[in-house]
Amino acid sequence: MSAFDTDIDASPEVLPQDIAGGASCHGGETRLRAAAAAAGKADVLAKYARDYPAGPHDQPQSMCPAFGSLRVGLRMRRTATILSGSACCVYGLTFTSHFYGARRTVGYVPFNSETLVTGKLFEDIRDAVHEIADPAQYDAIVVTNLCVPTASGVPLQLLPKEINGVRIIGIDVPGFGIPTHAEAKDVLAGAMLRYARGEAESGPVQAPRNGRAAKPTISLVGEIFPADPVGIGMMLEPMGLAAGQQVPTREWRELYAALDCAAVAAIHPFYTSVYREFEAAGRPIVGSAPVGYEGTAGWIENIGKLCNVGRDGIEAAKNRVLPAIRAALAAAPIRGRITLSGYEGSELLVARLLIESGADVRYVGSACPRTPHSEIDREWLAERGVHVQFRASLEQDLAAFAEFKPDLVVGTTPVVQKAKEMAVPALYFTNLISSRPLMGIAGAGSLAQLINTAIAGKARFDEMKAFFGETGTGESAGVWHDTPRAHPEFRDSYRRKLEKQTKARKAEEMI
């Protein structure tokens, strides 16, 4: 049992009207959790606590988790998305999803204290779902409860499972139950896979758009660079296998194809509920991914054995790609010390590739949790003396930066910002690193030019730092019409005021 479970206090004193107008991701988490438990969501929260263990602290400093599931839904063809939550949350999520290129509308069912308390919100959601459930347009409708409706117990599980042949998927994605946006992707992908598995078990289902694969396939779990499945297919071919469906999928019928595989590649290891569905369908799962020379060799070996491929086939697959990977790595060496952190779940794979390219990686922080499918990569990195921190906090990432004094920081926005302030070159993990090919031959050497150019930019940072000095830092930050002057007397008087208040409070406590 995690610390999360113990926090679920089904206090009947917390009522929906108490939370309708207040709590958010900036505070009130315990209250929301208690309210949700009291409102009938204790089971959902306990499941999330098992699937997405928290700790060493509760939640990495990251974006609203619901962005993850929203993105998965918005990328799917013939899938409608409806959010139920506070208007400010929906505004932020909609803005972000369109900023990242979503081409679909986000539906919204608004609420107020009255509709929340009386249960009218649920009726409004049900009406909205009925209104848009047009099988000519949609295969599925995804309805997502954000923080406040989850805390109020809006019972999406009571929505019809299907209307006119359109599947209805209701999920709770509260910030106080799902630690990262990565894991929220798993909530929706897992819910869809579960639904599709039920359909496949009870009768014939739609074939994939391009027909069923002629060879046994390996389903690929995780959002990977579009060229990566092609490279993976090339290395599987000598073993008589093919790259299968990617999960999260882009269309409902692809879910059946994903389930119809010989084995599953857990490329991103945090998809706990997705893996549960594959296991329930009897599909074996392999962790790690074909990154670098050793990663690719190990991955081919594991996949081959799992799929009962003969030794000749396994060796043929290795011979097809390993020499070229070795040559690509040697042709593009990386020199320099790097600390790396991110929240995409692929941080350990990137670290492996950097190390095989020659980089001196000291620290890898991931906002995602340790799972059985991250073990291969964690062990590989630990054997090379790399500190791997799961559920890494910003403070831990910054402490690693301070301790290891890297030549380059690869990290999240605040970590990159800190490094640049200190005149250390830095690259954003999400935008610049995780959006490149990483697997097989295409991946080997793909990072070198970017990383080496960034490290070589150190002199420019030093020049800028020397030019600007302390301008715009600390108390002189901001827009000033005159040259800012320090006022130590203000600081002294404020300190005295605080001391007085503390003394007065203590005196009151003693009365």
| Binding region for ligand SF4 (CB under 6 A) | 24-25, 64, 66, 85-86, 89, 92, 146-147, 175
- The residue (of 84 and 296) whose beta carbon lies closer to ligand SF4 is 84
CB of 86 to ligand SF4, least distance (A): 6
- The residue (of 180 and 374) whose beta carbon lies closer to ligand SF4 is 180
d(CA 186, CA 265): 15
d(CA 7, CA 1): 11
Residue with tokens 């779940």: 345
- The residue (of 179 and 336) whose beta carbon lies closer to ligand SF4 is 179
CB of 184 to ligand SF4, least distance (A): 10
CB of 221 to ligand SF4, least distance (A): 25
Length of the chain as a residue count: 511
CB of 459 to ligand SF4, least distance (A): 41
Question: Do the Cβ atoms of 442 and 228 come closer than 8 Å?
Answer: yes
- The residue (of 25 and 264) whose beta carbon lies closer to ligand SF4 is 25
Question: Do the Cβ atoms of 186 and 237 come closer than 8 Å?
Answer: no
CB of 35 to ligand SF4, least distance (A): 13
- The residue (of 133 and 188) whose beta carbon lies closer to ligand SF4 is 188
d(CA 320, CA 323): 7
Count of helices and strands (H, E) across the chain: 23, 14
Task: List residues bridging with 389 in a β-sheet.
Answer: 365
CB of 390 to ligand SF4, least distance (A): 21
Q: What contacts 58, CB < 8 A, 6 or more positions away?
A: 3, 4, 29, 179
- Write phi, then psi, for 156 (nearest 5 degrees): -60, -25
Residue sitting closest to ligand SF4 (CB): 175
Q: Quick one: CA torsion of 52, 57, 58, 60, rounded to 10 degrees?
A: -80
Which amino acid, residue 292? G
- The residue (of 23 and 427) whose beta carbon lies closer to ligand SF4 is 23
CB of 39 to ligand SF4, least distance (A): 16
- The residue (of 146 and 329) whose beta carbon lies closer to ligand SF4 is 146
140 exposure class (CB count in 10 Å sphere: 0-12, 13-18, 19+): buried
CB of 7 to ligand SF4, least distance (A): 16
31: part of which helix (H) or strand (E)?
helix 29-36
- The residue (of 147 and 317) whose beta carbon lies closer to ligand SF4 is 147
For residue 194 the two structure tokens come to: 């579960």
d(CA 45, CA 30): 12
- The residue (of 86 and 346) whose beta carbon lies closer to ligand SF4 is 86
What 3-state class would DSSP assign to 340? Answer: strand
CB of 368 to ligand SF4, least distance (A): 17
DSSP class per residue in 47-77: HHHHHS---SSS--S-S-THHHHHHHHHTST
d(CA 170, CA 141): 8
CB of 187 to ligand SF4, least distance (A): 13
Count Cβ atoms below 10 Å from residue 50 Cβ, excluding itself. 13
For residue 152 the two structure tokens come to: 């109020």
d(CA 207, CA 209): 6
CB of 176 to ligand SF4, least distance (A): 7
For residue 29 the two structure tokens come to: 């988490």
d(CA 208, CA 196): 13
- The residue (of 25 and 433) whose beta carbon lies closer to ligand SF4 is 25
- The residue (of 29 and 228) whose beta carbon lies closer to ligand SF4 is 29
- The residue (of 170 and 443) whose beta carbon lies closer to ligand SF4 is 170
Residue with tokens 């069912």: 109
d(CA 303, CA 509): 66
Which amino acid, residue 470? E
DSSP class per residue in 306-343: HTT--HHHHHHHHHHHHHHHHHHHHHS---SEEEEEES
CB of 466 to ligand SF4, least distance (A): 41
CA 371 to chain centre: 14
- The residue (of 14 and 89) whose beta carbon lies closer to ligand SF4 is 89
For residue 13 the two structure tokens come to: 């004193």
CB of 143 to ligand SF4, least distance (A): 14
Instruction: Give first-to-last CA distance, the chain, whole Å.
Output: 42
